[in-house]
A and B are shown apart, each in its own frame.
Chain A
Amino acid sequence: MELRDTPEEASFRGDLRTWLEENVPAELRGHRGGAARFDGPEMRAWSRALYDAGYAGLTWPEEYGGGGAPYTHQAIFLEEIARAEAPPHIGVIGLGMAGPTIMAYGTEEHKARYLAPILSAEEIWCQGFSEPGAGSDLAGVRTSSRLEDGHFVVDGQKVWSSFAHLSDWCILLTRSDPESTRHAGLTYLIVNMHAPGVEVRPLTQITGEAEFNEIFFTGVRVPADNLLGEVGGGWQVAMTTLLHERGTLGFALQAALEMQVRKLIALARDRGADQLQRDRIAREWIEMQAVRFTNYRSLSALMKTGLPGPEGSISKLVWSEANQRVTKLALEILGPDAALADDNAPYGGYWQYQQLRSRGNTIEAGTSEVLRSIVAERVLGLPKSR
């Protein structure tokens, strides 16, 4: 057990800290995220700067533009990003889901074609899994794909697809065998969002902005080569994606929480907090440290045994609920000003936006109910409910 940096980790951290101090644009510090980050060119430029400095895809193989670094570097990177209140790389779905899935199931051609543009933020990805009839129960997917003279022809509808309106590519889960039900007969495709027959309709969400979308596919022709895994083997590939969505993302979420708690403390110093609020602030700081060290445990197990520790499965669940509490506590500290929004609100409406956005945290990437069932069944070994 050694929680301090090794000399090599310390030098990586030191260089990174200096680099962040010199390179994070002031207007992006503490950025509230969401779809607004795509409005101007700044965030893409920032992501590109991360890439050029070698900080995008730290753990990805060097041959695909990554850093070939151990996971600990990624952990240090995210800690330092939080400390500097720097925004993360813009390619959330590409980095966290599409990229790792392509590395696991893609051909050499796929890896050479798709991975580097994710890191350089030249291409943005979205995830087309959920459908009107398939949410928590993803095996209910009905969007169809038929193999026809060298192409999959795709018809159907996806929903809640984050950033689809800005995306170049989609990882799409389809049903290729119309006779099949549930987990069999699914096929996982890479779909060009600019292809004819793809129509994206933004959905305005609780925050007033449109971050997620409906996607309609009408006779969209997808080259047969854009297949990940086997025809009919899409479920297995999708599980890899979800594993990364909920797992690898753990450290990113921890960094987000660390930044949120820092801001909460700064807010309380700025505006004052009563005794009961101080107790809750201390609780949230404790919870944040607990998530952080739980991730360290899981990560250390991964480095030693190749498998992340089971405790890692609680990260997303705990983070989402912590973020909801932290943002609500911030509104309480703001007092009557909490009713104001956007530019009329203190801090440009950061907390009002964050609080509303946080309600999605317990729904996206697996609802808390689904995640609790996963902990109960896969970690505790309780009998299966489904």
Chain B
Amino acid sequence: MSDGRALLEVEGLRRVFDVSKPWLNRVIEGHRQQFLHAVDDVSFAIPAGRTFALVGESGSGKSTIARIIVGLIAPSAGTIRFDGADIARIKNPSEMRQIRRRFQMIFQDPYASLNPRMRVADIIAEPIRAFGLLGDTAAVQHRVGELLALVRLDPRDGLKYPHEFSGGQRQRVAIARALAGNPQFLVCDEPTSALDVSVQAQILNLMRDLQEQFGLTYLFISHNLAVVRHMASEVGVLYLGRLVEVATTHELFSAPRHPYTRMLLDAVPDLAMTGRVRTPVQGEIPSPIDRPQGCHFHPRCDVAKDRCRTEAPAARSIGAATVRCHTPLGA
């Protein structure tokens, strides 16, 4: 499926939020302006037909990256290239529409992302009509039926409203809608986090089938490492806005290079009940508004050196992996 060509390339992506108190309060109470670095110098590339996963704990910047990529919020810096084209440089609106059609997003909460007053058939048909993909009503109807079948729903389900469906069925509707414009690239932000495991299994299997069938490329966001391991070919680990490690799924899980990655893997419950020895989790995630100097992970790192407290490690390549640590594990 993959010819190694990157469909999406993200370089030096940054997003800073101004979280200061209102100007007047700052003047009166003497507060400084405060900035939150939600995404800080993030770079990765996703080959066509593959799944790249972003993992990280709450507040690490996963959703912010997703929202920047699909154009819901603007980056403070950095470039996003889709199929070789720098998205920020596309000024022609019709060209932009063409590009936008080619990537779609699926959200965590399938209920909030579907209009409760629209019938499911109309929800799915919306992008077809918006992009002017099919002319006559009969063709649109036929296509909606096809899409419903694709996500293993009954074509008659199109007449129902979102509230008549279970959580898993609603996520199928969201997927059908995302597929309506024949996209090549799907950004999936925690697509199964709100679902029960047996329903999650149905959706994950479906997503893999669709990927195979249509050669789809996924950016898959999750905080669940087991799900990521199941879905992704490559994984990026985020900590306080920075990508601390990017590696193939196999490498990342079998030989993590970054101390934070190792800590995360050790924290995952031992479902196989192997009783393997694990390092206990140290400390807590610091506030993203007041990130530690140097390597952000140093207060919790069991192999931190003096240098880590002052000097931020640059991203460096080790084999096929990229790691942001002065002294990567196993190097």
Report if A and B associate in a common complex: no
Instruction: Using CB atoms and an 8 Å cutoff, list the residues of chain B in contact with chain A.
Output: none
